[in-house]
Structure 1
Amino acid sequence: MPIKNRIADFHADLTAWRRDIHAHPEIAFEEHRTSALVAAKLEEFGIEVHRGLAGTGVVGTLKGNRPGDRAIALRADMDALPMPEANGFEHASKNEGKMHACGHDGHTVMLLGAARYLAETRNFAGTVHFVFQPGEEGGGGGRIMVEEGLFEKFPVEEVYGMHNWPGLPVGQFAGRVGPVMAATDQFEITLEGRGGHAAQPHKTVDPIVLGSQVVGAIQTIASRNADPIKSVVVSVTQFHAGSAFNVIPQSAWLCGTIRTFDADVRLQARERIEEIAKGVAIALGGSAEVKFKFGYPATVNHADQTETALSVAERVAGAGNVQRDIPPSMGGEDFAYMLLEKPGSYIFIGNGPEVEGQKLHQVNYDFNDEILPVGASYWSQLVEDVLAHG
C-alpha cells in the first residue's frame, strides 16, 4: 500500500507548513509560535486541543467514527537546536543562532498531516492522541510531559514515535526490538595539582599531566572493563587548563559523555570513571572531584509494538523497504521516558543519502520534504490498523 492519495493531494500544504516552521525555529521550551501553529491547525481540522503540558506541549485528541475503548498516542518533537544555519534557501532560519538541524520541523508536520487525514476520514475505532512535545534536544520534555500527567490525562495502551534518518533511502523505514537509542550521561572532572613556574616542574604537581593520564586511562572502561558484547562509549569532549605558556596551572577541568544501552554497564562506567580519576590523581600527587549527571535513559522498543510498527511500515513502503534489525544508535532520545511508562516503538524514516552537510545537527542540514506524505501515511495507517476494532 503506497502513500495515501488524499495525503498526496495536500503534499504542497505539508511542504509550506514545514518550511514555515523551519524558518522560525524555537529552542527547548520556547516553542510558543510553533505550538500555536500546531494548535491552530488541529483546531482547524476539528480536533480537540489541549495545551500546557511541559509549558509549550500540545495534545490533540480525536475519536474514530466507530465506538471503541482502545487509545494510542503518536508523538512528534517540535524544538530546534541552539546553533547557526548556513543554508541560503528562502526558508532558512530567520532566528539567529537557532536552527532546525535535526528535522523536528518535519516530524511535527508529518504528524499534522496524519491528523488532518484522520480527522477527515475517522476510519478507526477508539481514540488517538497526537502528542507534540517540546524540549527534546537536551531539555527532557518527554520526561516533563510524563511527570505532569500525560498518560493520566490521556490514557493510552501504546505509544509510538518516529525520527528521520539521513543515510536511509527515501521511501524506506527501519527499526528493531530492544535498545534503539542509548542512555546519555555526562561527567565532569576537576583535577587539583600545585601550580608553579613551567621551568621548575619538579616543584609542581601538573594537573595537565594528571588530566592526560585520566583521559587515556578511562578509555580502558570500554576495552577492559565492560563486557565486549555490551556497548559503551566514554568520550572526553572538553579539557581546559592553564592561561600562559610559562605557567603550570593549579587545576584542570575536563568533561564528557557516557553512552550505554545496558543499565548495569551504565552504572559500571560511572563507578570506573570516578575510581580512575581519583586513583590517577592521588598516584601523581593531586586530587580529583568527579560529578555526574544522568541524562536520558536508553530508548528500548517493545517487541509486539515494534512488530506492529514495522508491519505497518511494510504496508506503506513494501516489505523490501523496511529494515527490521537496524543497528542501535549511540545518540539519545527522550522518547525513552514514554517507553518506560507505556509499551511502544520508535522507528526511523529514510531522509535520503547522508552526504556531507545533510547529516543531523549540521549547519547545512534540511529535512527532505519528499518524505512528508510518506511519514503522514505511515502514521495514518498505524492508527487505522491498531485501532481497527473497538
Structure 2
Amino acid sequence: MRGIEIFSELQREATVWRRYLHENPELHFQEYNTARFVAEKLASFGINHIETGIAGTGVIALIQGEGGDGPTIGLRADMDALPIAETSNKPWASKNSGIMHACGHDGHTAMLLGAAKHLAKSRNFKGSVALIFQPAEETEFPTGAFKMVQEGIMDRFGISQVFGMHISPGIDVGKFGTRHGSIMGSQDDFDIIVKGRGGHAADPSQTTDPVVIAAQIIMGLQTLISRKTDPLESLVISVTKLSAAQAYNVIPDQVEIGGTVRTSASSLRDFAEHEILASAQAIARGFGAEIEFKYLRSVPATFNSTEETDLAIQAARKLVGAASVDEKVKFCMGAEDFAYMLEARPGAYIFLGNGPTPACHNPAFDFDDEALLYGIGYWVRLVETALGSETNNG
C-alpha cells in the first residue's frame, strides 16, 4: 500500500474548495449554495447517483465499487456554519456578516469531496459507499441528522454501517483519536419560569421575589451533581440564560432561567429531567412561588459500536501508524447529532487533529488545511478496510 503522499494533489484541490466554502458560509437548513457546490463537484467526478434536497438541503451520492457485491457503508460530513462574527483575519475569512465556519464543517465537506474524487476513480472496493453531506448539525432539535434518518436514508441507500469524523483543536495535525462506546455526550435543554409576585424594589416584603428564588434554584441545581450523582458518571448542568426585570427599581412577576444538560448515558438524562423539576419546584414552593418547566431532549450520546470502532482504528493506523492513533481518547461532553445516525446503524466517530488552533466555536477559529490530507486519506483507507480491499490503485 502506498503512503499518504498519494493524496497530496487532492489536498491541494480540497484546500481551494475548503477556502471557498469558508468564505461563503450558510446557516442550518440554508446551505443552498453549499449543497449546489457539493452536487456539482460530485457530478464532475463522474458520480451518477446523486440525490439532493434530503432533509431540505442535504446531498447523498452513491459510488459503486468494482470489487464485486458487498454492503454499503455511509460516510458523513456536515455542511452548516454558525451565527458567529469571524475574527480570524484570514484572506478567505467569511464574506457573510455574522456567519462563519467556526467548527470545521467547511473542512469536513472538502475532505469528503476529496475522498469522493479518489474513490470514484479507483473504485477499489466491494459494495458501495454512500457519501452523506448533512445539513444543520449546529441547531436545536430537530437537527439535520435526525431529519435525514427520519426520511429513511439508511433503508433507501441500503446503508449497513455509518462513519463520521470531526476536526479537533488540541490534537496534532496527522493524529487521530477515538474510543469504543460513548465518545460524546447527549444534549438536553431546559427552561424554567419562576412565577412570583412583583412590586417596587424599595418594598420587597410586599412581593414574592422571583429573582431571589431563581438564584436559589440555580445554586440548588449544582448540588444535583455534587450530591446526587456518582462522581464517576458524567453529568453537566449549566444554566446559560437568565432574564428578569429591565429596570433597577422593579421586582418582576417572573424570571426565566434556561440551560443545558450533558450526560454520557440515557439513564442520566432521565435522572436530570426528574431532579431538575423536583429541585426547582421544591425551592419555589418554599418561597410561595410556582414554576413552569420544559425539558427538551435534543441529541443522544454518541456511541461507537465495537466492530466499527475497530475498523476505524485499523484504517487510521494504516494511514499514519499506530503511534498516531489514540484509541482511548478522552470522552467529550460536547454533543454531536451524528448520534442519530449511530442509533439507526452501527458505526464509529473519530477525531482528526487540527493542531494548536483556537477552539471550535471561537470567532478566531480556522481549519488547518494540512489536515485535509489526513482526512481524505482516512476516508479512503476506511472504505478499503471496511469493504475488503487491501491495495490501492492510486
TM-score (norm 1): 0.97
- Map 1:88-107 → 2, pairs under 5 A: 88-107=89-108
- Residues of 2 paired with 1:292 and 1:76: CA distance? 29
SS at match of 1:353: coil
Residue deviations 1:61-84, cap 9 Å, x none? 111112113111100000001111
Q: Is the 2:154–2:160 Cα contact (8 Å) retained in structure 1? A: no
Q: Is the 2:70–2:387 Cα contact (8 Å) retained in structure 1? A: no
Q: CA deviation at 1:189?
A: 0.6
Q: CA deviation at 1:4?
A: 3.4
Residue deviations 1:3-52, cap 9 Å, x none? 53332123221110000000000111111111111111111111121112
- Residue aligning to 2:120: 119
Mean Cα displacement is larger for which, 193-202 or 342-351?
193-202
- Residue aligning to 1:154: 157
Any stretches of 5+ residues in structure 2 without a counterpart? Answer: 390-394
- Residue aligning to 1:244: 247
Q: Give the residue type in structure 1 aligned to 2:21.
A: I
Q: CA deviation at 1:349?
A: 0.3
Q: CA deviation at 1:214?
A: 0.1
- Residues of 1 paired with 2:249 and 2:154: CA distance? 60
- Residue aligning to 2:366: 366
SS at match of 1:331: strand
- Residue aligning to 1:383: 383
Q: Give the residue type in structure 1 aligned to 2:93.
A: A
Q: CA deviation at 1:2?
A: 7.3
- Residues of 2 paired with 1:27 and 1:113: CA distance? 23
- Residue aligning to 1:82: 83
Q: CA deviation at 1:383?
A: 0.5
**Identity over aligned pairs, percent:** 45
- Residues of 2 paired with 1:124 and 1:245: CA distance? 69
- Residue aligning to 1:41: 41
Q: Is the 1:3–1:374 Cα contact (8 Å) retained in structure 2? A: no
2:262 matched to 1:253? no
SS at match of 1:180: strand
Relative to structure 1, is the Cα distance of residues 361 and 2 closer, same or farther in structure 2, using a 3 angstrom cutoff?
farther
Q: Give the residue type in structure 2 aligned to 1:153.
A: R
- Residue aligning to 2:200: 197
**Counterpart pick for 1:314 among 317, 327, 346:** 317
SS at match of 2:293: strand
- Residues of 2 paired with 1:285 and 1:101: CA distance? 45
Aligned length: 387
**Counterpart pick for 2:230 among 218, 222, 227:** 227
Any stretches of 5+ residues in structure 1 without a counterpart? Answer: none
Aligned CA RMSD, in angstroms, stands at: 1.3
Residue deviations 1:197-239, cap 9 Å, x none? 2222111111111001000001011111122221100010011
TM-score (norm 2): 0.96
Residue deviations 1:274-325, cap 9 Å, x none? 1111110110111111111111111001011101101111111111111111
- Map 1:1-390 → 2, pairs under 5 A: 3-47=3-47, 48-139=49-140, 140-354=143-357, 358-388=358-388
SS at match of 1:66: coil
- Residues of 2 paired with 1:87 and 1:227: CA distance? 41
SS at match of 2:385: helix
Q: Give the residue type in structure 1 aligned to 2:368.
A: N
Q: Is the 1:2–1:315 Cα contact (8 Å) retained in structure 2? A: no
- Residues of 1 paired with 2:258 and 2:209: CA distance? 18
SS at match of 1:144: helix
SS at match of 1:129: strand
SS at match of 2:356: coil
- Residues of 1 paired with 2:183 and 2:191: CA distance? 26
Relative to structure 1, is the Cα distance of residues 26 and 2 closer, same or farther in structure 2, using a 3 angstrom cutoff?
farther
Relative to structure 1, is the Cα distance of residues 273 and 2 closer, same or farther in structure 2, using a 3 angstrom cutoff?
farther
Q: Give the residue type in structure 1 aligned to 2:370.
A: E
- Residues of 1 paired with 2:229 and 2:75: CA distance? 36
Relative to structure 1, is the Cα distance of residues 195 and 317 closer, same or farther in structure 2, using a 3 angstrom cutoff?
same
Q: Is the 1:126–1:387 Cα contact (8 Å) retained in structure 2? A: yes
Q: Is the 1:175–1:326 Cα contact (8 Å) retained in structure 2? A: yes
